[in-house]
Amino acid sequence: MMAPLTEQDRVVIIGAGHAGGRAAERLRAHGFAGGITLVGKEDVAPYERPPLSKSVLLRSGSEADTYLQDLAWYAGNRVTLRLGQLVTRIDRDARKVFLLDGETLPYSRLIIATGGRLRDLPVPGADLDNVLSLKTMADAVALRARLDTARRLVVIGGGFIGLEVAASARALGCEVTVVEATERLMGRAVPKEIGARVAAVHEARGTTVMLGCGVQALIGETAVNTVVLADGQRLAADLVVVGIGIAPETGLAEQAGLETAQGILVDDQCRTSDPGIFAIGDVACHRARAARPVESWQNAEQQATRVAAALMGCPAPELEPPWFWSDQGDLNLQIAGTPVHWDGAMSRGRMAEGSLLLIQMDGQQVTGTIGLNAKKDMLLMRKLLKAGCPVDADSLTDPEQPLKKTVMAALRA
Reported as a single tens digit per residue, the pLDDT across 371-402 is: 999 999 999 999 999 999 999 999 999 989 99
Confidence band, pLDDT 50/70/90 cuts, at residue 172: very high
Give percent of the chain above pLDDT 90. Answer: 91
| 87-91 sheet: strands from edge to edge | 87-91, 96-99, 104-106
> For residue 198, which amino acid is it?
V
Task: Report angle CA 413, 392, 344 to the nearest 5 degrees.
Answer: 145
Residue 290: predicted pLDDT: 58
pLDDT at 198: 96
Give residue 317's pLDDT.
Answer: 87
Question: In this predicted model, what pLDDT tens digit does every residue of 94-107 receive, in sequence order?
Answer: 999 999 999 999 99
Q: Write out the E strands in 294-354.
A: 323-328, 331-337, 346-350
pLDDT at 155 over 80: yes
User: What architecture is domain 339-412?
Assistant: 2-Layer Sandwich (3.30)
Whole-number pLDDT of residue 319: 84
In degrees rounded to 5, what are phi and psi of residue 359?
A: -125, 125
Residues 6+ apart with CB under 8 A from 412: none
Number of separate helices (H) and strands (E) present in the chain: 11, 25
Instruction: Flag whether pLDDT at 292 surpasses 80.
Output: no
Instruction: Give Cβ neighbours of residue 132 (< 8 Å, ≥ 6 apart).
Output: 139, 142, 143, 146, 239, 240, 241, 242
Q: What value does the mean pLDDT take over residues 204-214?
A: 97
Mean pLDDT of 8-35: 97
* Torsion over CA: 130, 136, 137, 140 (sign): positive
Rg for the chain, CA atoms, rounded: 23
Cβ(142)–Cβ(171) below 8 Å: no
Amino acid 125: pLDDT = 97
End-to-end CA distance of the chain: 40
Question: Per CATH, which fold does 10-117+246-311 belong to?
Answer: FAD/NAD(P)-binding domain (3.50.50)
pLDDT given at position 242 = 98
CA dihedral 224, 230, 234, 236 (to 10 degrees): -40
- pLDDT on residue 318: 87
Which residue, among 278, 277, 318, 281, has the nearest Cα to 303 in the 3D structure? 281
Q: Phi-psi region for residue 266, left (φ > 0), alpha (ψ -120 to 50) or beta?
A: beta
Instruction: Give mean pLDDT, residues 79-90.
Output: 98
Q: Are 10-117+246-311 and 131-242 in the same CATH fold?
A: yes
Mean pLDDT of 348-366: 88
- What pLDDT shows up at residue 188? 87
The listed CATH number (3.30.420.270, 3.40.50.1220, 3.50.50.60, 3.40.50.2300) that belongs to domain 131-242: 3.50.50.60
pLDDT of residue 291: 58
What angle in degrees, to the nearest 10, is found between the helix axes of 192-204 and 160-171? 10
The pLDDT confidence band at residue 137, using thresholds 50, 70 and 90, is very high
Q: What does the pLDDT read at residue 350? A: 80
Instruction: Kindly report, residue by residue over 225-276, the tens digit of the pLDDT.
Output: 999 999 999 999 999 999 999 999 999 999 999 999 989 999 999 999 999 9
Mean pLDDT of the region 271-283:
97
Q: How far apart are CA 350 and CA 284, in angstroms?
A: 37
Q: How far is the C-alpha of 19 from the C-alpha of 32, rounded, in Å?
A: 18
Does 347 have pLDDT greater than 70?
A: yes
**Mean pLDDT of the region 120-141:** 97
- Give the pLDDT of residue 112: 98
Threshold 0.75, pTM exceeds: yes
Phi-psi label, residue 84: left if phi above 0, alpha if psi -120 to 50, beta otherwise: left
Any alpha helices (H) in 53-110, and if so which ranges?
55-58, 71-76
pLDDT band with cut points at 50, 70 and 90 for residue 58: very high
Which helix (H) or strand (E) segment is 300 a member of?
helix 297-311
* Calpha distance 51→304 (Å, rounded): 20
CA distance linking residue 193 with residue 309, whole number of Å: 41
> Do 236 and 144 contact (CB within 8 A), yes or no?
no
For residue 49, the 8-state DSSP code is S
Question: Is residue 110 within 8 Å of 67, Cβ to Cβ?
Answer: no
Longest pairwise C-alpha distance within the chain: 68
User: What integer is the mean pLDDT of 341-355?
Assistant: 86
Query: Average pLDDT, stretch 5-33?
Result: 97
- Domain positions in the chain are 10-117+246-311, 131-242, 339-412
At residue 295 the predicted structure's pLDDT band, cuts being 50, 70 and 90, is: confident
Contacts by 352-356, CB closer than 8 A, 24 or more apart:
356/197
